[in-house]
């Protein structure tokens, strides 16, 4: 199932919000990288007009085009997935998080997932009842 095929209006609204956030992130990163719309469009194989639509958050734009443009300006896929997780949990996403250091945020998320996984495994390996004493009684 693709991210674009949604089963409810609420899902479509979340996806539309994600596309707006994504478009702004792509535009801001493109400007920071001092790339023109023409350069980025050419780099990722789309038309300039379509890039403008993506940067404006057009809900008809595809997730694939957003990800290709993001890659063209050096944004990792997490810039798209992290806001999606927030919105999936009905939480507002502070866009400023993506405009700062996305690599540090991504690294922190990966560490948290790793810590959670290690803790989960460790808790399964710990005995649930205390071990019987091995001391002999006199």
Question: Would you state the pLDDT for residue 84?
Answer: 80
Long-range contacts from 10-19, C-beta under 8 angstroms, 24+ separation: 12/59, 14/84, 14/87, 14/88, 15/59, 16/57, 16/59, 17/83, 17/87, 18/80, 18/83, 18/84, 18/87, 19/54, 19/57, 19/58, 19/59, 19/61, 19/66
CATH of the domain at 45: 1.10.260.40
Write out pLDDT tens, residues 27-46.
999 999 999 999 999 999 99
Average pLDDT of the segment spanning 112-138: 75
Of residues 25 and 136, the one with the higher pLDDT is 25
**Residue 136 placed within a domain:** no
Question: Would you state the pLDDT for residue 65?
Answer: 95
pLDDT band at residue 97 using 50, 70 and 90 as cut-offs: confident
**Residue 116 placed within a domain:** yes
**Residue 130 placed within a domain:** no
Model confidence at 6: pLDDT above 50: no
Task: Please answer whether residues 37 and 46 qualify as being in contact, where contact means their C-beta atoms are separated by less than 8 angstroms.
Answer: no
**Residue 134 placed within a domain:** no
Question: Would you state the pLDDT for residue 12?
Answer: 65
Model confidence at 130: pLDDT above 60: yes
Of residues 114 and 101, the one with the higher pLDDT is 114
Q: How far apart are CA 27 and CA 20, in angstroms?
A: 11
**Residue 135 placed within a domain:** no
**Residue 96 placed within a domain:** yes
Per-residue buried b or exposed e for 70-96, using 16+ beta carbons within 10 Å of the residue's own CB: bebbebeebbbebbbebbeeeeebeee
Model confidence at 77: pLDDT above 70: yes
| pTM over cut 0.75 | no
**Residue 47 placed within a domain:** yes
- Note down the domain range covering 96: 9-125
- How many domains are there within the chain? 1
Q: How far apart are CA 9 and CA 14, in angstroms?
A: 9
**Residue 102 placed within a domain:** yes
């Amino acid at each position: 199932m693709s991210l674009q095929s949604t089963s409810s209006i609420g899902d479509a609204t979340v996806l539309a919000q994600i596309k707006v956030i994504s478009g702004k992130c792509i535009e801001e990163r493109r400007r920071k990288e001092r790339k023109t719309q023409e350069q980025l469009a050419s780099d990722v194989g789309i038309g300039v007009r379509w890039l403008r639509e993506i940067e404006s958050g057009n809900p008809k734009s595809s997730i694939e085009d957003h990800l290709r443009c993001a890659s063209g300006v050096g944004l990792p896929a997490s810039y798209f997935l992290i806001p999606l997780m927030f919105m999936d949990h009905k939480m507002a996403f502070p866009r400023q998080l993506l405009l700062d250091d996305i690599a540090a945020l991504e690294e922190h998320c990966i560490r948290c997932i790793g810590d959670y996984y290690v803790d989960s495994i460790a808790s399964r390996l710990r005995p649930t009842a205390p071990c019987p004493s091995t001391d002999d009684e006199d």
